[in-house]
A and B are shown apart, each in its own frame.
Chain A
Amino acid sequence: MAMISCQDISFAYESNIVLSAVNFDIEEGSYISILGENGSGKSTLIKGLLGLQKPIKGKINISETLKNSDIGYMPQTNAVQKDFPASVYEVVLSGRLNNLGIRPFYRKQDRENALSNMEFLNIIDIKDCCFRELSGGQQQRALLARALCAAHKLLILDEPSSGLDPLVSDDLYQLIKNINLKQKIAIVMVSHDIDRAVEYSDYILHLQNKQLFFGTAADYLKSDIGKIFMGGRK
């Protein structure tokens, strides 16, 4: 059974419909890329999946086994305050907050989990550095580590590679694929990078204020819309 099933959902801001009639399922352990141009409703859909924005029509069915505290989320870095005084460790550890429940303080296992995620993402040696003084790539990694601390079944990423140079973003895609394969965490990722989305993900959801395509990456390549957007490159 699907973890999240979207049935004919539409979103609007003050009666301006930004996204309509979207239908797709997120299966356990799957990897979905959401493609589309700027303003096509990608980030709105992400907000909907996270429960930050209510659809005006349709239904998002969330399976009973998926709790809010199983979801990790990595926002666009420009959504995070750039001048915030916090160490990398403090930021990453705050991802464990949803595991605390009503307990006020972190336990040993929370700290260990945060440290191991930082090790996995290769930011352990900058753990005491100030978040606002990091480079763009390091900030992305710190936010990804935080998202990993929170994610048990589903990781939602909003343009994780924006503003990164190609080499660093290659790394990031590889890391995300590893997370998907090794930790069996489902990935939903908004991306601008059609080539990499097709290369790494199982499913493609293409939006243009409505749903243009949903299906496997292989089918996307064969579809008309896929051919147009890939521009005959493959």
Chain B
Amino acid sequence: MIELLSEMFSYTFLVRAVIVGFLVSICASLLGVSLVLKRYSMIGDGLSHVGFGSLAIASALNLAPLAVSIPVVVAAAFILLRISENSKIKGDASIALMSTSAMAIGVIVISMTTGLTTDVCNYMFGSILAMSENDVYLSVVLSIIVLILFIVFYNKIFAVTFDENFSRATGVQAGIYNMLIALLTAITIVLGMRMMGALLISSLIIFPSLTSMRLCKTFKSVIICSVFVSVLCFFIGVIISYLYAAPTGASIVGINIIAFCAFSLASMIKNKKGGVL
């Protein structure tokens, strides 16, 4: 095992991927709890498609991918929130609208410029080779900012997630905290997208929180548990992907599915026992 790890970490690209993946896993699992409970699970999916579109445009124009997609996805997140709050198009429909539109634009741009290269394929399904050194620095700084903001606003995020009307009525600026959640989600998605792939990144947000909700009963324990689940699944997934040359994103999701099933089973057994006793 130790030999395997030291062999893995002799590759610089793997070290980069693990550092970024570790931080992104933590951010995604923290935000995921709030997003799942607010019924915003699909926002992650929608935003990742927008991210794909913006990456396609960035690579067509030869611009730095992260620098272009972060502002675009953040803007998309704000628009999605606004739409789902105000307009007559309901939240889920507006997400579907936006994500397919962005995907279509991305595909058009790609076919007109570079064609379906490995780069583009990597955006869809993810690759750990995609990180440059500058990307790593930016990712580390941004994910630490996301982490700090989440911890500082933890109590407010809880209140806004649990009962938004109550927070509004008692003088808490719920709108600002919704925007904060959207902003942090957007950043996390763009950072994680290139490793996990546009099609799979939302699993990183949804799975750990759903998994830990099987067993944990309080908000704090759900949050802490999902961080551990997320990080653990990430590491196992990366090791498996290294051993069997499997795609990283898909391996991580695979491990997450196993964890989810295991937790569901444990919760079923626990409930049955409780019923008998």
Answer whether A94 and B169 are a contact pair too, CB < 8 Å, given A84-B37, A86-B218, A130-B217. Answer: no
Q: Which residue of chain A lies nearest to B167 when distances are taken between CB atoms in the complex? A: A97
Task: Name the CB-closest residue of A to B166.
Answer: A73
Q: How far is the CA of A73 from the CA of B168 in the complex (A)?
A: 10
Query: What is the CA–CA distance of A73 and B164 in the complex, to the nearest angstrom?
Result: 12
Q: Is A106 an interface residue (CB 8 A)?
A: yes
Residues 138-157 of A, flagged 1 when their CB comes within 8 A of B and 0 if not, give 00000000110010000010
Q: Is A223 an interface residue (CB 8 A)?
A: no
Q: How far is A94 from B171 in the complex, measured between Cα atoms in Å?
A: 13
Q: B150 to nearest A CB, angstroms? A: 11
For the complex, is A167 an interface residue (Cβ under 8 Å from B)? no
Interface string of B137-152 (1 = CB under 8 A from A): 0000000000000011
Is the Cβ of B155 less than 8 Å from the Cβ of A68? Answer: no
User: In the complex, which residue of chain A has the Cβ closest to the Cβ of B209?
Assistant: A85
**8 Å CB contact of B170 from A87, A91, A95, A104:** A95
Asked whether B9 is an interface residue with its Cβ less than 8 Å from the other chain, the reply is: no
Give the Cβ gap from A233 to chain B, nearest Cβ, in Å: 35
CA A211 to CA B154, docked complex, whole Å: 43
A128 vs B37: C-alpha distance when bound (angstroms): 20
Q: Which of chain B's residues have a CB closer than 8 A to the CB of A156?
A: 169
Min CB gap A118→B, angstroms: 15
Complex interface: chain B residues within 8 A of A130 (CB):
217-218
Contact A97 B222 (CB under 8 A): no
Contact A86 B219 (CB under 8 A): yes
> What CA separation (Å) do A50 and B164 show in the bound complex?
13
**Does residue A21 face the partner (Cβ distance < 8 Å to B)?**
no
> Bound state CA distance, A84 and B219, in angstroms?
8
A68 and B166 alpha carbons, distance in the complex (Å): 11
Decide if A71 touches B171 in the complex (CB within 8 Å).
yes
Does A215 sit at the interface, judged by CB under 8 A?
no
Which residue of chain B has the shortest Cβ distance to A95 in the bound complex?
B170
A57 on the interface (CB 8 Å rule)?
Answer: no
Say yes or no: is A105 at the interface (Cβ < 8 Å to chain B).
Answer: yes
Listed residue (A67, A86, A129) with the most chain B CB atoms within 10 angstroms of its CB: A86
Which residues of A16-31 have CB atoms within 8 Å of chain B's CB atoms? Answer: none
Q: Does A58 contact B (CB under 8 A)?
A: no
From DSSP, what is the main secondary structure of chain B's interface residues?
Answer: helix
Q: Which residues in window 113-162 of B have CB below 8 A to A?
A: 151-156, 158-159, 162
Inter-chain contact B165/A104, CB cutoff 8 Å:
no
Once A90-B219, A100-B155 are accepted as A-B contacts, the answer to whether A73 and B37 lie under 8 Å apart by CB is no
A67 surroundings in chain B (CB, below 8 A): 171
* Nearest opposing residue in chain B for A69, CB measure: B171
Is the C-beta of A136 less than 8 angstroms from some C-beta in chain B? no
Set of chain B residues within 8 Å of A50, measured between Cβ atoms? 165, 168-169
In the complex the two chains form, what is the Cα distance from A230 to B177 in whole Å?
A: 46
- Assembly CA distance A68 to B170 (angstroms): 5
Determine if B85 is an interface residue (Cβ-Cβ < 8 Å): no
Q: Give the most central of A51, A94, A130, A156: most B CB within 10 Å.
A: A94
Q: Which residue of A lies closest to B222 (CB)?
A: A85
Assuming the contacts A94-B155, A105-B155, asked whether A85 and B219 have C-beta atoms less than 8 A apart, the reply is: yes
**Is A212 an interface position by the 8 A CB rule?**
no
In the bound complex, CA of A204 to CA of B171 (Å): 27
6 examples of A-B residue contacts, CB within 8 angstroms:
A69-B171, A73-B166, A79-B165, A81-B37, A86-B219, A104-B155
Extra inter-chain contacts (4) besides given A104-B155, A130-B218, CB under 8 Å = A71-B171, A72-B170, A94-B162, A106-B155
